[in-house]
A and B are shown apart, each in its own frame.
Chain A
Amino acid sequence: MPKQQEIKKVLVIGSGAIVIGQAAEFDYSGTQACTALREEGIEVILINNNPATIMTDETTADRVYFEPLTVESVKEILEKEKPDGLLATVGGQTGLNLAMALTDQGILDEYGVKLLGTDIHSIKKAEDREAFRSLMKELNEPVPDSEIIYNEKEALAFADTCGYPIIVRPAYTLGGFGGGIALDQETYLTLVKQGLSASPIHQCLVEKSIAGYKEIEYEVMRDAAGTCITICNMENLDPVGVHTGDSIVTAPSQTLHDKEYHMLRTSSIKIIEALGIVGGCNIQFALHPSSGDYFLIEVNPRVSRSSALASKATGYPIARLAAKLAVGYYLHELKNPVTGTTFASFEPALDYVTVKIPRWPFDQFTNANRKLGTQMKATGEVMAIERSIEAAFQKAIRSLDQKIDGLFLPALSHFTTKELEVLVKEPDDRRLFAIFELLKRGISTSTLHDWTKISPYYLSVLSRLVQAQCSYEELAWPEVTKDKLLAAKKLGFTDKQLAGCWNVPVSLIKQQREKWQITPSYRMVDTCAAEFEAKTNYFYSTWSGSSDTRNSNKPKVAVIGSGPIRIGQGIEFDYCCVHSVLALQKMGYEAVLINNNPETVSTDYEVADALYFEPLCAEDIMNVLEFEGITAVIVQFGGQTSINVAKELEDAGYNLLGSTSDILDEMEDRDRFYTFLKNAGLPVIPGFTANQPAEVWQAADDLNYPILLRPSYVIGGSGMIKLNSDEELEAYLASAQIEYPVLVDKFIQGKETEVDVLSDGKTAWVTAVYEHIEGTGVHSGDSIAITPPLSLSASMLDQVCDTAVHIAKKLDFKGLFNIQFVCQDSGLYVIEINPRASRTVPISSKSTNVPLVQHATSIMLGKKLNELGISQIFNGQRGFTVKAPVFSHIKLPGLSPELTPVMTSTGEVMASDRDPEIAMKKALSGASQQLADLWSGGSIYITDQQETGLIKSWQEKGFLVYTPETADFSEWMDRDDKKAVISLEADPDKVRTAAIHRLHVWTRKETAEAFFNTLPKKGVFV
């Protein structure tokens, strides 16, 4: 059936800020959907308040509303835009929940808006566990014994009938938040309580645990004619028990034989058919390792993180085609965009294997609870493609961009074998490395299988790697033959790993490889295992066989991506990389992108002229550059990940566009940076570099408290701390693992501002100036910020801009860089200069309406700033724009919500308005979607009863205010009207408890005040 003609204008719902469980994958699916709809001549209206996304670009949608994702905002947009259709299945759980609310409240009917794709009854059938279970019973599809419960009594009654272990799954939550597996009654009751409060409808599913079964997922699509296809299946290395978002996953499945594969496929199709899905759907199964029994775990009636992964693993663009199906097309009417000749109604055949490994934040948050269970904790993920599964594992591990030495996590070498056993039995983020470590210590794969229930196949693969590495270590360099070196490369060992085994310089291995002509070949992801000729430029490396060819006849530039999403290095860098690619293409270059993050837009093979899905280590990058014959590389947009390889690339003779690695080093190396500032005639914050504890003490004495300690070259302020006294310093030095040298600075109290500067080395443009609401001591990523500044004096603003331009002129740097300042009455200090695109670049671009990254890219390629036609005033902004951070504390129990120099937020929202108060209100309410509704009034708890001023003002606003004097904290936590906790001293237990119960937690006066100012006057709460 051709497209429905009556659909001319569609509202697409985005997923909002990045939180754990709902991340960059929805920028990818949303961007694909918008593009697919516009191809059909449909006008696309978008609501999404996440600025760091490609989908919110003016080029992606016809109109973008940066509004909070609420029923009220959508209603306003419907009123104004009068669209014909609503697409809600590409915006994650947020999109689905909004669609359900809009339908239930009759708003879609009222405005005559058609819900496109899967209809609301189907969505509800899949989402409501009771409805879903009864449907599965009808279909004869097995689901584990379970019960819907609304209170502890019902929960206990279920436990009495089925026994432990039991899984608790709260209804309607993202990423399985609030749930877990209970082995005994005590944990069970804790989880039930937590789950009921996490669920918006106070409902949990308690379920007999089938931990230990294989966890298998299918990505299925269906059109309105009933044609069903499975795009791919995926097998979790971690058996049932660990959330699939926290599991290592291979696609396709490896250990299922054909009967099992198709038994589950048939079941998937039966289910999607019965639900009547139109579009994409994810179905998760638990399969008994030997009996062939299976259970259905979950159905997601929308595109998801798994569908993004499946799209990247197969080359089949699920979200793009789901959008086409939503407007009426049938699968067999749509071409397979990869081959261009075959049709979308087929199932991809892979001739490689992909391995996905989640990226967790626990290298930064060592104190948070890092155990893995039914609640997802990963912030991002990496994927590797290879024809050898061992090499795929090694590539994926490298892509994590963590301090890992080949297969081994150095920290685990100090663990006893008993400790490692516990670690693999009760997994946390280090399980894979604990397995490697145990294998090295001679523990057999069969013992490991008993401990972990991981399939013997995967354990054999891991064991093969450990054995290989051990055998290399036995070998002396002169004994290494061509066959041995080739075998090692085929298993995915890098020159660097091998150099370590053989005690020779990396360059020697490379030389020898070249002599023996051992180089990688590059193969195409073509969806059809070479059966048909394909046209994509989507490649991966492998160490055997020949290469697929790619036609190219233009000059080429490589853009280095930013790898997995992690706290401090998020989706904003993916946004920058995509824009850089677009700029290169506009200027007539061929853009070659290297990245390994399966969730994002940059790894959509339709974005760059060639996409190489590779780790972002120097060796992997240089292999691609050699294969492509590229000499010019852009490292400015991939965050710290690409900056980290700058020197190696430059040393190997590649041309870094925009700056030299020496400039990057000058900005990062504290001593050189101070010298730079002094030479530029700028004041320097007093500080020292300390190489050992004694020097830290010396520095503390010289500087006086408070002081700020930090390592060089870090992401998101990792390891940064403000210390106020000898006692705090002593405790810190005793407790923390400190890597020297550390930088010890005088902590300067004051107002923070930051600017993004576009410079051609001679002329510079200060694009946007941000005023941070919170003063110094809070990481810039965690502070609320407003541009243009509101409370900065005109002379201070001038001084900020003049200094920024002055720095740009002193710096031999072309492109975008970011400066952070502290403003004091006495003057202005530069805190740091980030010689690369920063977190705020997308906001600067969107608030000034200037494509900054594209301009930066053209400057790097020789254009002058004055040729770009932008006005030279800093605030070309039409109104005020506020950025507000969004945290995932509900997913990371144990992590303190206290604002510190270490960044903890996972995402951000943006809001603009001519009236700064309205912008602030929209931003803060938009950032609070996952939290208790502050704006409907209620009660707050202030942990310090001395704060009389605060208490009084909140009371005047109509809030009930409790303090330790008037209520015990735990009693207050039982109240239904609880909304926020103010704890300026950051009482550790209270702030953590409040945070995981979705309350607002404010540890800085400025934050509390900002929220306070957005509240209506007393008595007008709704």
Chain B
Amino acid sequence: MKGTLSLSNGQSFEGSWKGAVKDVQGEIVFFTGMTGYEEVLTDPSYYGQIIVFSYPLMGQYGIQNLHLESSDIQPAGIVVTELYEGTLERGFSLLEFAVMHNVPIMTGVDTRSVIQTIREDGTMQAVMQLEGKPLPAWEPIRTFVVPHVTAKEAVTYGEGSPHIGLIDFGYKKSILQALLDRGCTVTVFPYTVSTSELMSTPLDGLLFSNGPGDPASLMHKIDDYRAWANVYPTLGICLGHQLLAIAFGASTEKLAFGHRGANHPVMNVKTKRVSMSSQNHSYVVKEGSIPSNVDILYTNVNDSSVEGLQHQNLPLLTVQFHPEASPGPAEHHEVFDSFFNLIYQEKKVSQHA
């Protein structure tokens, strides 16, 4: 079967069709990491998007864990140059995985040209269809998608200390795992949780998770989030970082084509040390909008965009990149350590109070 990938700027690309036989429409984005397709595909931040992999060979290693970052394939469609379907050392093939989750894959696509188009015209809506079908009506890029990926109800994991509340905008399991590995109890709350329900749980800190869409779509919850962050030591990751920035007075904007990959250099402004980070975001916090009581902690070396913030008076730390890695470089676990230091300092203070 042949398929067509049509972009809302009028360009289209041909390819072979594999996996689920259904048309999909979504915002088209690209990922530049050379490994990590199982992590990317299960990352809820990609919910509903069409993902293009820049590395041309996909599927050479088997999927080890079918529920790596979440229990579903999150993107609506997958676009690759070549899909390997031969013998594997172990695990499921990428195609089997896509079929299990009813997701279509287009192969044989000139992905480099697709990416060059996105680089020039920005991310946009795209449609994957079987060859010869008329184009459907263009839907706007979806910005309010968190409700599709957030937890239905509060769930608690682990039984150690401290106790962290994970506000779920579509969290990656490796964030939960990073907390559990440090011996925490973690309660995952839907992003809509009420202040009273949250406060009735004996929490030592909050983590605002990653998630898909535009942070501005969650303005109706911002007052709650600001109130919570005034009470608990708080860490924000990705969308969580953007929401907390907005809560304290900053604003966000959309990048032309976002940062999605495993090689984004960020600099710790205090130590001047540069390290590689895993990233997946379209929106950034506007540098000029940051209030004076919040410091920039990390910046992106390539485009100088804001990569992390620290509040001067509150135990509040946020990062745009993914310290939990998965996929990508695992060299920012210090972010979790800093978060725990904030919690322990707070505990000391409250014990002495």
Contact = CB atoms under 8 A, between A and B. Distances in A.
B277 to A, nearest CB: 10
A1005 interface: no
Given A262-B328, A351-B54, A464-B86, 15 more contacts: A257-B36, A257-B64, A258-B327, A332-B274, A349-B32, A351-B32, A351-B111, A353-B56, A387-B112, A446-B87, A457-B60, A460-B86, A529-B32, A529-B115, A530-B54
Interface in B104-149: 108, 110-113, 115-116, 119
A346 interface: yes
Contacts of B32: 349, 351, 528-529, 531
A987 B314 CA distance: 85
B273 interface: yes
A530 B115 contact: yes
Contacts of B89: 255, 289-290, 455-457
10 contacts: A255-B89, A258-B33, A265-B330, A347-B262, A387-B82, A463-B86, A523-B112, A529-B32, A529-B115, A530-B54
Nearest to A444: B87
Nearest to A254: B60
B342 interface: no
Nearest to A348: B263
A240 to B, nearest CB: 16
A197 interface: no
Interface stretch (A144-152, A175-183, A225-233, A856-864): A225-233
A459 interface: yes
> Which 4 interchain pairs have the tightest Cβ spacing?
A460-B86, A545-B110, A258-B36, A529-B54
Contacts of A461: 86
B54 A544 contact: no
B158 interface: no
A456 B87 contact: yes
B261 A256 contact: no
Contacts of B270: none
B26 to A, nearest CB: 20
Nearest to A228: B275
Interface string B53-72: 01111001110100000000
Contacts of A259: 64, 326
Given A256-B61, A531-B119, A533-B119, A266 B330 contact: yes
A531 B261 contact: yes
Contact of B35 (A226, A227, A258): A258
Contact of B265 (A256, A290, A346): A346
Given A457-B60, A533-B119, A346 B273 contact: no
A180 B16 CA distance: 48
A876 B91 CA distance: 70
Contacts of A257: 35-36, 38, 61-62, 64
Contact of A545 (B112, B262, B264): B112
A549 to B, nearest CB: 11
Contact of A457 (B39, B86, B116, B327): B86
Contact of A227 (B87, B262, B274): B274
Interface string A358-389: 00000000000000000000000000000111
B33 A530 contact: no
B331 A269 contact: yes
B56 A346 contact: no
A530 B61 CA distance: 24
Given A349-B33, A529-B54, A546-B113, A227 B275 contact: yes
A225 B271 CA distance: 9
Nearest to B82: A388
Contacts of B263: 346-349
B61 A445 contact: no
Contact of A332 (B35, B88, B262, B267): B267
B261 to A, nearest CB: 6
Given A225-B272, A258-B38, A388 B56 contact: yes
A714 B31 CA distance: 49
B56 A352 contact: yes
Given A262-B329, A457-B87, A529-B115, A353 B57 contact: yes
A266 B334 CA distance: 14
Contact of A530 (B39, B116, B262, B267): B116
Interface in B66-98: 81-82, 84, 86-90
Given A262-B325, A529-B54, A343 B265 contact: yes
A589 interface: no
Contacts of A387: 56, 81-82, 112
A233 B265 CA distance: 18
A631 B159 CA distance: 75
Contact of A349 (B34, B87, B119, B331): B34
A1011 to B, nearest CB: 53
A227 B116 contact: no
Given A258-B327, A459-B87, A346 B82 contact: no
Given A347-B263, A460-B86, A331 B274 contact: yes
Given A343-B301, A349-B33, A546 B61 contact: no
Interface string A972-992: 000000000000000000000
A349 B54 contact: yes
A644 interface: no
Nearest to B263: A347
Contacts of B151: none
A773 interface: no
A259 B37 CA distance: 11
B331 A350 contact: no
Nearest to A456: B87
B276 interface: yes
B302 interface: yes
Contacts of A343: 265, 301-302
Contact of A226 (B112, B273, B328): B273
A772 to B, nearest CB: 52
Contacts of B55: 252, 349-351, 529
Contacts of A226: 273
B170 to A, nearest CB: 20
Given A225-B272, A265-B329, A457-B84, A349 B261 contact: yes
A226 B267 CA distance: 12
A261 interface: yes
Contacts of B276: 229, 346-347
A353 B301 CA distance: 27
